[in-house]
Structure 1
């Protein structure tokens, strides 16, 4: 599955010198600053902070995690993994931060295409998760026109991540 390959890219990126750079720029994921769950720690949430977090994310992916745009946007079939307290931030990211509508993802694609600086760690993580969401959504679509639009979206997100991982 394509999302597994991109999750691997997240690991590579987190260990790269580019990930350390924080630049002042237009927010790619503005909803990350609008979390309404009442916890200061959930403002601008990120999941990956260590190698252990990365391994946990892989385990969650391999358990069959699904990011859906419905009432319960994050589904982790493995109850033990789903019950971990550290997964709370991943759930917040998937539920409240990631764009789910095609129009919102296309806005993100346009913003990514205009970028000249490397993505921050948070934005890279969220873009990988958006790519996972887009690939899972694409697999569920039967309408040829919708399928084509989501495929184009998937390709553009993958290209943006590939550009970001390229030489500086």
Structure 2
């Protein structure tokens, strides 16, 4: 199974899978709750609320992405980039998910020690972080490739563990 198919399955399962959250926990993606003043980002944005949106997100990830030196992510396909959901995709990718190794390691450590299953938006953002780590792994060489690959593996293991714990559709509390 290639990584694109695996990613689609993870995204689809994330919209179908859950459990209610009865305890308060630290946020995995605090930037989602602290939008930048210069951004029109809504508080706690979520990309996928339907199967159609999962498929659209998959198209975004299949499209050629560009990562600038300042780690800003954009969709090269102009038609896809012009869609309203593409704006939300860019916002989540650029303002919410971690893109530096120390931040991704912190996320992985938080995920590994977390009880229960992930909220829908945390699952979605973790999958996007996994996709970002896969992209960076593919672009890296030597020692950097090993570092990115380890981050990718840690995120994959956390998502796998979450999927094994969950039973039923994933909902936001």
**For the superposition of Structure 1 and Structure 2, which TM-score range results when normalised by the shorter chain?**
0.7 to 0.9
Among candidates 127, 143, 146, match of residue 145 of structure 1? 143
What is aligned with 1:26?
26
The answer to whether the 8 Å contact 1:4/1:61 transfers is no
Mapping 1:16-165, distance limit 5 Å: 16=17, 18=18, 21-23=20-22, 24-36=24-36, 37=38, 39=40, 42-66=42-66, 68=67, 70-71=69-70, 73-142=72-141, 144-165=142-163
CA distance in 2, matches of 1:137, 1:38: 25
Question: 1:127 and 1:3 mapped to 2: Cα distance?
Answer: 15
The answer to whether the 8 Å contact 1:127/1:161 transfers is yes
Aligned Cα root-mean-square deviation (Å) = 1.9
CA apart distance, 1:55: 1.4
Which runs of no fewer than 5 residues in structure 2 stay unpaired?
167-173
SS of the residue aligned with 1:75? strand
State which drifts further: 84-93 or 22-31. Answer: 22-31
Distance 1:105 1:125 in 2: 15
8 A Cα contact 1:3 1:135, kept in partner: no
Q: After TM superposition, which residue ranges in structure 1, 4 or more long, deviate above 3 angstroms?
A: 69-72
Unaligned segments of structure 1, at least 5 residues: none
Structure 1 residue 69: Cα displacement: 5.9
Task: Say whether the 8 Å CA contact 1:3–1:131 is kept in structure 2.
Answer: no
